[in-house]
Structure 1
Amino acid sequence: MIGVLGGYGDVGAFTSRALARLGPGPLRIGGRDPVAARRLGAELGASDVGACEVVAQAVDFTDEPSLQRFADGCRILVNCAGPSHAVADRAARAALRAGADYVDAAGDDTLFAALDPGAWSDRAAVLSAGLNPGLTGLLPRWAAARFTEVHGLTCYFGLLDHFTEVAADDYLQGAADGVSEPLAAWRDGRRRPGALRRRTGARVPCYPGTVTALPHLPTEGERLARALGIDRADWYTVVAGEHVRAAFDRVHALDRRDAAAALRRASLLDLAGRAPYVLLLAQLDGLSQGRAATSTVLLRGRRNAELTGAVTAAATLAVARGEVPSGRHFAAGALDPQATIDRLRASGAVTELVVLDAAIEDLDAVEEGAL
């Protein structure tokens, strides 16, 4: 039995649907609204995606007995509930007591530090198993297999989508927790504060119109740079909407509730009349077979929640198949890059994925590329 906490929510519904297609086991879908859980359970049970048994169960992650009843009997507990800081380590502790493995669509450095490594010596806990962080760290690892050495990395990640209440709260908490340092970059094997500047009214290849590029160094990026032995790396969040950019600049002066509401309103204004998208560009510079080489990975998807759910489901399948060793892990470093990319392709959540033998700045002149 695989229990999906928050299994009918924005991310949880995509995760549940993907797991039903992948078929690693029967599903238990839970949340505070039993009607919504039963509705999705009935939809999946009646679908033609496979012979997946689906049951619904009411659960409140703030109520320990309720959460434990949901976790008991599960082989893997998957957390898609939020906001992540409110769930904290509650779900992970319930998984431990139930003797289950654990996968979290979110879960950052704070949760990782809260998990006792000794308690996970005979089971797996996989955190940050979503789009960002998660796929944003795994995709460069996948592309790095083309190189014998990687010296430089430049990443642009952007999306046009709506902020849900949970997503807005998680974004604000992440900024408060310091999981990403604005204007910092990776230089000569270490974090360099203030190395970069914001670019407003910029043109970034493959992104429509002009955008704002916000430089930052995420902890996921620092782990990636250390693992690959990178000398120089830059990360940018690309903001395509003027309303969200303006909201980012003023949320620090608002209380949490008002700030989250401002982000939600701004995202809906930017999305009005436009199709949502996710776009990630990752340029790697280094050596391939003794020669200088540059490659850029381009990934497109439709929605944040859809890609996050697909990654979470892929991570859950990897745990179910014993592909992840026991212990606590971040998804970007623990999942097999090629197997995960293959599963994401099969999910349909990725609409385009190519590797181009060109730098990002040259992509507008590149007509086509081949994997």
Structure 2
Amino acid sequence: MSDSIAAPVIGLIGGSGTVGRTAALRMSAAGLGSLRIGGRNLDTAAAVAEECAGEAEAVRLDLADETNLEQFCCGCSIVVNCAGPSYLVLDSVARTAFSVGADYVDIGGELPAADALRAADTARDRTAIFSAGAMPGLSGLLPRLIAGDRPLRRLDTYVGGVARFTELSAADGLLTRGERFGESMASMQDGQIASNSVPPLHDVTLPGFPRPVHAWPYLTTEAQSLGALPGVAEVRSYNVFASDRLSRAMAHAWAQLPASPDHAELAPFIPSIVEATIADEDEFGSFYIMLFTGRPAQGHPRGTTRVVLRAEDSYGLSGSVVALAAEHILNGRVSPGVHLAAEALDPSYTVERLRVDPLVHELMVE
């Protein structure tokens, strides 16, 4: 009798939301392993498990209960976290996963969580990927298709559209400021941050976007890493909105919040953020576009100068990216250590997989 190798067990946290459900369906369809879907509501987790193509079970999970979380992670080959908010989770779930011998993928976290896990130094032979979503994640990965083969005098990124925020996404959005997240109105020039160097664009027509939009310069830390790539002279990064409702609501909240607000301080501002996104969706419908353009340095070949991705929404797209990050780890594509998705995933392979994803309406590389 030949020995059989047991299939990996994938622990999926937050599987009943849009992101988690998409991740579950993608991972089960790809045959990555059996799924253990955790959530506070066992019925909704069970409903997702029933949709999966392969083996999947629902398990009641409370992230705030450390014992419950450890029991959930035990026996998993990898733990995939689609729950939030990121500012509360940080690296706590990753540390629990590492402690029981599991690798880890998180849709959020960004630099604060990655840095905290690196500092903890809990398991040198384990692998973690943070920011495995649409933005951050794809927003830093796809531009590498443009930046990889010759010097660029400029690389521009435009990401956004219209999508209804949940309360959790509104809270995370309010917290994406400060030096560990980015700087408004800034660009990267010759590897250095150039403050107050880029004006906002109003009612601008951009390739791939269905209507004129407002593009607000925000140099994320992810965009800053693009500016550090060899041969990239300048990077400009924009968040794109169909109207100024959301940007006004965010600016109003930021003007009154302290530098490091807690949940109680955020709570009064969350409804206005959610309402702004609902009003935009009612007026314009929903759409989500990623546009990346590159201008080669003089005397160098044109190469790839534009990438456009049109998707159903950022939430489902993020679920597909989370699943791809888990696949990268399970297939040995990522070395042990703590990584950000934009730097760890293979851009060409990701494009290949996303082109056949039903949530992606168009993915053009030219």
Summarize deviations over 1:92-125 as a string: whole Å, max 9, x none.
0111111000001111111011013643421110
Deviations 1:132-180 (A, max 9, x none): 00000100112334x3333320111112110011111111111256402
For the pair 1:132 / 2:142, whether they are aligned, the reply is no
In proportion to residue count, which structure has more helix? 1
Alignment match, 1:110? 112
Residue in 1 aligned with 2:330?
320
- Give the SS at the match of 1:158: strand
**Is structure 2 residue 95 aligned with structure 1 residue 93?**
yes
Q: CA deviation at 1:238?
A: 0.9
Paired residue for 1:203, among 202, 205, 209?
A: 205
Aligned partners of 2:216 and 2:330: how far apart in 1? 37
Q: In the alignment, which residue of structure 1 is the partner of 2:293? A: 283
Partner deviation per Cα, 1:207-242 (whole Å, 9 max, x = no partner): 233322110111011112213431111111111134
Tell me the secondary structure at the aligned position of residue 175 of structure 1.
Answer: coil
Q: CA deviation at 1:311?
A: 0.5
Question: What stretches of structure 1 of length at least 5 have no aligned partner?
Answer: 45-49, 357-371
Among candidates 349, 352, 364, match of residue 339 of structure 1: 349
State the alpha-carbon separation in 1 of the partners of residues 244 and 222 from structure 2. 27
Q: Secondary structure at the match of 2:307?
A: strand
Mapped partners of 2:194, 2:335: distance in 1: 33
Paired with 1:349 and 1:223, the residues of 2 have a C-alpha distance of: 28
Q: Aligned partners of 1:286 and 1:134: how far apart in 2?
A: 24
Q: Is the 8 A contact 1:189 1:229 kept in 2?
A: no
* Superposed CA offset, 1:178-213 (max 9, x none): 402101101122111111122233333432333221
TM-score by length of 2: 0.90
Report the equivalent of 1:54.
56
Counterpart Cα distance in 2 of 1:285 and 1:294: 9
Question: Which of 354, 358, 362 is 1:352 aligned to?
Answer: 362
Q: Helix, strand or coil for the counterpart of 1:348?
A: coil
Q: CA deviation at 1:341?
A: 1.4
Find the counterpart in structure 1 of residue 261 from structure 2.
none
CA 1:240/1:93 → structure 2, altered by over 3 Å: closer, same or farther? same
8 Å Cα contact 1:150/1:228 also seen in 2: no
Task: Give the AA of the match of 2:358.
Answer: G
Deviation at 1:14, TM superposition (A): 1.2
Cα distance in 1 between the residues matched to 2:242 and 2:230: 30
Shift in alpha-carbon separation, 1:55–1:150, aligned structure 2, 3 A? same
Give distance in 2, aligned partners of 1:283 and 1:25: 37
SS class of match (1:267): helix
Separation of aligned partners in 1, 2:275 and 2:216:
20
For residues 343 and 316 of structure 1, the distance between their equivalents in structure 2, rounded to whole angstroms, comes to 13
Would the alpha carbon gap of residues 208 and 339 (structure 1) be closer, same or farther in structure 2, given more than 3 Å must change?
closer
Give, in angstroms, the shift of residue 294 of structure 1.
6.6
Q: Which runs of 5+ in 2 are unaligned?
A: 1-8, 258-264
Deviation at 1:256, TM superposition (A): 0.9
Matches within 5 A, 1:1-371: 1-44=9-52, 50=53, 52-116=54-118, 118-145=121-148, 147-175=149-177, 178-252=180-254, 253=256, 255-272=265-282, 274-286=284-296, 290-291=300-301, 295-356=305-366
Measured in 2, the distance between the counterparts of 1:260 and 1:89 equals 24
* Contact 2:288 2:310 (8 Å CA) reproduced: yes
Q: Secondary structure at the match of 2:275?
A: helix
Deviates more, 1:290-299 or 1:7-16: 290-299
Q: Distance in 1 between matches of 2:206 and 2:143?
A: 19
Work out the CA distance in 2 between the residues paired with 1:283 and 1:322.
Answer: 31
For residue 298 of structure 1, what is the amino acid of its counterpart? V
Change (3 A) 1:320 1:211: same
Is 296-305 or 220-229 further displaced after alignment? 220-229
Residues of 2 paired with 1:90 and 1:311: CA distance? 21
2:5 matched residue in structure 1: none
Total equivalences in the alignment:
349
Structure 1 residues 334-356: Cα deviation after superposition (integer angstroms, max 9, x where no partner)? 11111111122222222111133
Partner of 1:362: none
- For the residue of structure 2 that corresponds to 1:236, the secondary structure is strand
Contact 1:5 1:29 (C-alpha < 8 Å) held by counterparts: yes
Give deviations 1:302-341, integer Å, cap 9, x for gaps.
Answer: 1111110000001101111011110010111111111111
2:289 partner SS? strand
Distance in 1 separating the partners of 2:287 and 2:128: 30
- Which deviations, in whole Å up to 9, do the C-alpha atoms of 1:71-102 show, x marking residues without a partner? 11100000101001111211101111110000
DSSP 3-state at the match of 1:347: coil
Alignment partner of 1:297: what SS? strand
What letter matches 2:109 in structure 1? Answer: G
